[in-house]
Structure 1
Amino acid sequence: MPRLTVNVRDFHWGIQALDTIDVGLVVIDINYEVCLWNSFMQNYSGIVSTKIMTKNLFEVVPDLPEEWLKAKIDAAVKLDTRTFSRWEDRPYVFHFKNYSPYTNKSTIMYQNMVVTPLKSLNGDVSHVCIMIQDVSDIAKNKLHLEQSNQHLSNMSRTDGLTQLLNRSYWESLLMKKYEKIIATEAPASLVIFDIDHFKKVNDTFGHAAGDDVIRKTAEVLRKTARASDHCGRYGGEEFTVLLPNTTVDQARYFAERLRKRIEAEVVSTEQGEIRYTISLGVCAFDKRFRTHSEWLEHADKALYESKGQGRNQTTVVA
């Protein structure tokens, strides 16, 4: 066999080069004892190499995800292949602070990790190299984009004044639920209501006060509805509610409960206190409805019966 010669000076330069790269490098043996801990790791962990070299990695750095990281390391050793972790799956491995000026709102360093098996001269895997890459800038940009997209998505389906579902989104949702209700034959009901004499509120107290009344109505509606109910602002002072898995008697109870709560509310404005009522129409799903629009039309007819009979009441149509 040819003799292996090592130039100590070149080896020393190589170690210095590892200290200059902008990634974390940790080399451990198969007993998890640290053999290399570069400057990146020292700077971000606050642990100098002399305090960790030849010691068990998990004893010196106790906040590591020990079980998970050991599984990654052991897989690299046994399979003699690299293992990986991306920040999308686990935001970080080492709990380092983020000091990037571009991501100063983020307190942690997002990290990608690569675990590489290292072989000894006899060809057996004797060590592994853990490489930690700071990807905070990439992560922050992606998270910001996702948040922006989610915000735009919410805006496209939400009414700005009430934060309820807007008319177009609520109707599209009703159409989808209508098809599901037909298929499952589960009970469901619609409630449609509007604020009584709302024009008089605007004329007497002003449109800003009218907006306060609409917001208060939406607030009470949210408190009255279940998490599974779908509440929307249908337009102006008119609101709609889809009640899944709800019989007509349960829907009547919901409507009356909402009506009484609204009747007890007081909206305070600079012009004075506003007391108001609502009129409601209720219609349970029936197979005879050929479309979701026909179902909604029947609920709307019930609403107009309530208005025609003196308002501040609930009408149920079969």
Structure 2
Amino acid sequence: MNASTKTLTQNTEGTASQVPLELLDSIEVGIAVLDRNFTVHVWNKFLENHSAKKAQSVIGGSIFSHFSEIDEAWLRTKIDPVFNLKSPVFIIWEQRPFLFKFTCNRPVTCAAEFMYQNVTIFPIVENNGRVERFCMLVYDVTEQALGKLGMEHLNEELKTASRVDGLTGLFNRRYWQERFDEMYKLCVRRGKPSTALMLDIDHFKRINDTYGHQAGDKVIQMLAALIKRCVRETDLAGRYGGEEFAIMLNDSTVEDARAVAERIRQLAQRLTVEHEGESISFTVSLGLAQFSADFKSAMAWLECSDQALYKAKESGRNQYCIYE
């Protein structure tokens, strides 16, 4: 029988109905009929067009021999209820983006590499009540998938923007404070040492007045990048305000924190920021306070590191001081 004149036979309540393949070809849904051996019996135009495989080349062969991207063991297990329970099976793109790896042939504005698909698989019940074949419907849900993924990406960007300081890429003050409060409570429960560190740029107003605010912003950015290199992923670094930064050194005694503070101080002292033909040098002062059970709140702890920072400023700047 010629492929163009074949019919799809489906038994419903014992009545056989003949569906011309021409009708199946006019539907914007992929339609395939397979048997228990996963041999293809129907392959409509939608599937031809998106797979670039003609019906006559696919029909009569195993679906797995034509589409290597399909996990055979997984699909056989997935389809078990179709034969054993005469129950339909659904595959949604959130669980598996596609069954057939069809390229996305939508307009050039389409951001997808491949077609996202929802697949419905239902049994074809013969007159004797047995299920020897099943029908597979493949829906193109690329637009819906991209819409949802785009919204999730936007939400993630908004979440990041609400946490991160736009100039430095460090945590902003509000989010840093929230995390610091959580770490304070953890220190109270665990009793392990951690150290809070405050630092700011010495004579920053002089930099702004001499070179301009854009130069000042560049100095802040360079110092932030330096801080990122000096702390661990488990530490918490943020821009606390203006030219002031706050760092929580997790599971670190004040002796451990000394090394970090001195490294930041030395690297900042050696750093030169180029701006509009000018070379700008700067130094930083730092204050350290190790956690103590005597601190009644996170802010009390941070205030102690701020007092140590003030002492470093009063003692001549370009140094660190430890809260006693």
Query: What TM-score range do you get, normalising by the shorter chain?
Result: over 0.9
Does structure 1 residue 166 correspond to structure 2 residue 169? no
Among 252, 273, 284, which residue is 2:279 paired with? 273
Structure 2's unaligned 5+ residue stretches are 1-13
Which residue identity is paired with 1:205? Y
Partner of 2:31: 25
**Structural mapping, 1:90-101, within 5 Å:** 90-101=96-107
Partner of 2:188: 182
Does structure 1 residue 195 correspond to structure 2 residue 204? no
Do the aligned residues in 2 keep the contact of 1:205 with 1:271 (CA within 8 Å)?
A: no
Q: Deviations over 1:35-59 (max 9, x none)?
A: 1111111000001110011111101
1:79: Cα distance to partner?
3.0
Does structure 1 residue 60 correspond to structure 2 residue 66? yes
Does structure 1 residue 316 correspond to structure 2 residue 322? yes
Which residue identity is paired with 2:170? L
In structure 2, how many angstroms separate the alpha carbons of the residues matched to 1:272 and 1:69? 66
In structure 2, how many angstroms separate the alpha carbons of the residues matched to 1:31 and 1:271? 75
Does structure 1 residue 305 correspond to structure 2 residue 311? yes
In structure 2, how many angstroms separate the alpha carbons of the residues matched to 1:301 and 1:76? 72
**Structural mapping, 1:80-95, within 5 Å:** 80-95=86-101
Do the aligned residues in 2 keep the contact of 1:103 with 1:137 (CA within 8 Å)?
A: no
Do the aligned residues in 2 keep the contact of 1:189 with 1:284 (CA within 8 Å)?
A: yes
Partner of 1:206: 212
Which residue identity is paired with 1:317? Y
In structure 2, how many angstroms separate the alpha carbons of the residues matched to 1:85 and 1:180? 43
Q: Secondary structure at the match of 1:113?
A: strand
In structure 2, how many angstroms separate the alpha carbons of the residues matched to 1:101 and 1:178? 53
TM-score normalised by L of structure 2: 0.92
In structure 2, how many angstroms separate the alpha carbons of the residues matched to 1:78 and 1:185? 59
1:118: Cα distance to partner?
1.9
Among 279, 284, 287, which residue is 2:293 paired with? 287
In structure 1, how many angstroms separate the alpha carbons of the residues matched to 2:236 and 2:196? 10
Partner of 1:220: 226
1:178: Cα distance to partner?
1.4
Q: Deviations over 1:37-85 (max 9, x none)?
A: 1111100000111001111110111122323222212343223212222
4+ long deviations beyond 3 Å: none
Among 134, 138, 145, which residue is 2:140 paired with? 134
Q: Which moved more, 1:100-109 or 1:157-166?
A: 100-109
Which residue identity is paired with 1:132? V
1:5: Cα distance to partner?
9.1
Partner of 1:256: 262
In structure 2, how many angstroms separate the alpha carbons of the residues matched to 1:72 and 1:163? 45
Q: Secondary structure at the match of 2:38?
A: coil
What number of residue pairs does the alignment pair up? 311
Partner of 1:116: 122
Q: Which moved more, 1:233-242 or 1:81-90?
A: 81-90
1:103: Cα distance to partner?
5.4
Q: Which moved more, 1:298-307 or 1:179-188?
A: 179-188
Q: Decide whether aligned partners of structure 1 residues 308 and 5 sit closer, same or farther in structure 2, where only a CA change above 3 A counts.
A: closer
Q: Which moved more, 1:300-309 or 1:68-77?
A: 68-77
Q: Which moved more, 1:230-239 or 1:182-191?
A: 182-191
In structure 1, how many angstroms separate the alpha carbons of the residues matched to 2:41 and 2:178? 61
RMSD of aligned C-alpha atoms?
1.7
1:184: Cα distance to partner?
2.2
In structure 2, how many angstroms separate the alpha carbons of the residues matched to 1:79 and 1:285? 63
In structure 1, how many angstroms separate the alpha carbons of the residues matched to 2:82 and 2:320? 68
Partner of 2:4: none
1:167: Cα distance to partner?
0.7
Structure 1's unaligned 5+ residue stretches are none
In structure 2, how many angstroms separate the alpha carbons of the residues matched to 1:244 and 1:289? 17
Does structure 1 residue 106 correspond to structure 2 residue 112? yes
Q: Secondary structure at the match of 1:122?
A: coil
Q: Secondary structure at the match of 2:20?
A: helix
